[in-house]
Structure formats: structure tokens, C-alpha cells
Amino acid sequence: MIRFGIVGFGLHAVKRLMPGFRQARRCRVTALSRRDLGQAQESAREFAIEHAFASAEELCASPDVDVVFVATPEAQHMADVLAAVRHRKPVLCEKPMARNGDEARAMVEAARKAGVTLGVAQVMRFEQSVKLFRRHIAAGKIGRPQLARADFLAPLLNSARKWINDPTVVAGGPLADVGVHCVDTLRFILDEEVIAVSARAHYDQHWVVEASGVMLLEFTGGVLATVSVSARSPYRTFLEVAGETGVLSAVNGLSLEQPSAVKLRRAFEVIESCEVSNGDAHAAQVDAFAAAIEAGREFEISGEEGLRNQLVLDAVFRSVKSGKTEAV
């Protein structure tokens, strides 16, 4: 049984991570940290977690922690990951991996030099809908992919995560926060890399970071993909890939709470249709990391994968600023 310590035990840990750990079979949470020790102790009592700390350094030093899960805001990711690396603890870092590619690269290099496993929590790769897309595309069910689309909309204006509008803390607004899920999912299901990006963003009077944004991604195999994100719309996700012989689409394709309806069409006819649940993705993610540690192998979503996503985001924000297509 792998023992996790969660650094940054906030809303995400309460809403997503702990329900996942409750379902997990290979691991459990034995420690948490929050900046305020009193709040940390209160959270530990609420969730029956043995140890509470006021810093990542203390948590990483604990002999009762085998693996560190970094769930702090992006500005803290590098420092927290490096703390885990110093203590030779495998570390799973939340997305986006960092505020920029330079930070992500420093994390990857430090982990590699120390021989420490570094993974990135791109949880959508563990969703049944996303895995089904990848299998169908690899099996040639839609022929050679031509166009792809990923949408992620969420009403974040009144989010309890007040720091998501602080550009000194976050990598960006929805282009980074949920856009990174879309970018990573498209890379995963197409099994290709992004080589160029054109992006636009809309800003309003409520936030400093962008409120909505759109990306056009060019992939190594010639696929063109659009990503649409917004923090000003009712919750909705959608995933679609059009190939030479068919189209795969999924309403709620990246959603955790709602069933995802995956359909394969040829022309106007639905050839296959199925409904899958993505509700166990967080449990599958931590169990997969625990299994990798137990087996002494790399986690399937390595730090290098997180770095590739971060370099795409860097190009996205360069394009927003320049108004031009930017190479990744």
C-alpha cells in the first residue's frame, strides 16, 4: 500500500482527490499540508489523515510518506516538486505543471538527475471516454484523422479558487487551467505532437487573466484541431475527431460527473454508440502511479509529457500577444 502525502490540501483535494483515494486500491493518504497549521490539522481530523504539516518540506521529510502529490497553485509547483526530489520522494504534480516551460524543464531535469519519478496529473487520460477515442483511432475506425475539436467550458467567475485570477500565481486563465486538459487529451488520442499554435483570447472587466479563448493547433501528422475554453459559460465538455471514413464524437467527453455518450458516425448514420462513466478517473490515476512506484518503472504520464504540454501553452500565450502563429 503506497502512502501519499498531499501538498496543498485545498478545494481540489476535498472535491476530487479524496473521493478518488477512497476508491483507490493500491494507495491511501497519510499526510497533508496547508500553509496554516491549524487549518491543516482541522482537515486531517475531517478526513482521518494521520499527519498534518504547515509546509511541503515537513511533509516530504516524513517517514510515513512514500509519494508526494503536489496540489498547490501553479506558482508553487516548482518549489514543492523540488522539495520532494530533495527528499528522494516520487512526486505527482497537478496540471498545469508550471507557470511556463522554463519552470517545467527545471523540474524534469532535477527529477532526472536525482533518479526520482516525476509524473503529471493529466487525469483525463484515465477517463473511459478518452481511452475509447484513442483505441478507436488507433484501430483505424475513422480512417486517417483530419480534424479534431475539444471544448471545455466552466462557470469560474465565482469559483472558490480566488487565486485563479492572479497572474502571479497561475499559468493563465481557462486557456491554461482547462485548456491544458484539451491539449493533452488531443495529443494522447491522436498520438501526435503539436508543432504550431494560433490563439486568441477575450478579456473582460471581471478578471485580469483571460475569460475565454480559442486555439488552433497544428499536429505533426497534419491534423488541425480547435480548442475552445471559457470561464463564463455553463459547464460543458465536448470531444470530436473527424477522419477520412468516419467521425467520433462525445458529449461530456471530458466530464467526470456526467456519463459520456460516445458515437461513431459514417455520413449521417450512427455505426456505434455507447455511454461510459468517467467517475473513477482520479482513483485510476493514483492507483496507476502507485503501481508504477511498486514496479520500479516510469509513470505513463511523465514529467516530460507535462513539459510538452507546457511548451504548447507557452506558444498559445505568445500567439495571443503577437496575433501570429507561433511554433512550439
How does DSSP classify residue 302? B
Determine the pLDDT at residue 49. 98
Mean pLDDT of the chain: 97
How many whole angstroms separate alpha carbon 20 and alpha carbon 11?
Answer: 14
pLDDT at 106: 98
Q: Sign of the C-alpha dihedral, residues 150, 193, 212, 324?
A: negative
Rounded CA-CA distance 319/215 in Å is 9
Give the SS3 label for residue 324.
coil
Angle formed at CA 251 by CA 250 and CA 255, multiple of 5 degrees: 100
Query: For position 160, what pLDDT does the model report?
Result: 79
Q: Is a pLDDT exceeding 90 seen at residue 42?
A: yes
Q: Which of 3.40.50.720, 3.30.1490.20, 2.40.30.10, 3.20.20.140 would CATH assign to domain 2-121+282-298?
A: 3.40.50.720
Cβ within 8 Å of residue 158, ≥6 positions away: none
DSSP label at residue 141? T
Please tell me what DSSP assigns to residue 1.
Answer: -
pLDDT for 199 equals 98
If you ran DSSP here, which 8-state letter would residue 256 be given? S
| pLDDT digits 0-9 by tens, 189-210 | 999 999 999 999 999 999 999 9
Average pLDDT over residues 52-71: 98
For 259, the grid coordinates are 456519463
Non-local CB neighbours of 237 within 8 Å, separated by 6+ positions: 150, 151, 152, 153, 252, 253, 254, 255
pLDDT at residue 163, rounded to an integer: 86
Which of 145, 98, 115 lies closest to 239, judged by CA?
A: 145
Quick: pLDDT tens for 259-276: 999 999 999 999 999 999
Phi–psi pair at 265, nearest 5 degrees:
-120, 145
Kindly tell me if the per-residue pLDDT of 281 is higher than 90.
yes
Q: What is the CA radius of gyration of the chain?
A: 19
**Category of 13 on φ-ψ map: left (φ > 0), alpha (ψ -120 to 50) or beta:** alpha
CATH fold match for the domains 2-121+282-298 and 124-279: no
Report in angstroms the alpha-carbon separations of 151 from 43, 215, 249: 34, 10, 12
pLDDT score at 46: 97
How far is CA 277 from each of CA 56, 221, 271, 289, rounded to the nearest angstrom?
Answer: 34, 30, 20, 21
Whose grid coordinates read 523540488? 82
User: What is the per-residue pLDDT for 158?
Assistant: 84
Of 279, 103, 302, 22, residue with least CA distance to 4: 22
Q: CATH class for domain 124-279? A: alpha beta
Cβ–Cβ under 8 Å, residues 307 and 120: no
Q: Under 8 Å CB-to-CB from 77, ≥6 apart: which residues?
A: 70, 93, 94, 97, 98, 99, 103, 107
pLDDT grade for 161, boundaries at 50, 70 and 90: confident
Spatial contact of 116 and 89, defined as CB atoms under 8 Å apart = yes
pLDDT band, residue 159 (cuts 50/70/90): confident
Whether 197 contacts 216, CB under 8 Å: yes
* pLDDT, mean of residues 291-314: 97
* C-alpha span between 316 and 73 (Å, rounded): 20
The domain limits of the chain are 2-121+282-298, 124-279
pLDDT (tens digit, 9 = 90+) per residue, 108-154? 999 999 999 999 999 999 999 999 999 999 999 999 999 999 999 99
C-alpha grid cell for residue 168? 502571479
Q: How far apart are CA 266 and CA 109, in angstroms?
A: 46
Q: Are 311 and 328 in contact (CB under 8 A)?
A: yes
Q: State pLDDT tens for residues 96-107.
A: 999 999 999 999
Q: Model confidence at 318, in pLDDT bands (50, 70, 90)?
A: very high
Q: 0.85 cut: is pTM over it?
A: yes
pLDDT of residue 227: 98
Concatenate the DSSP letters of all residues of 184-215 into one string.
Answer: HHHHHHHT--EEEEEEEEE--SS-SS-SEEEE
pLDDT value at residue 263:
98
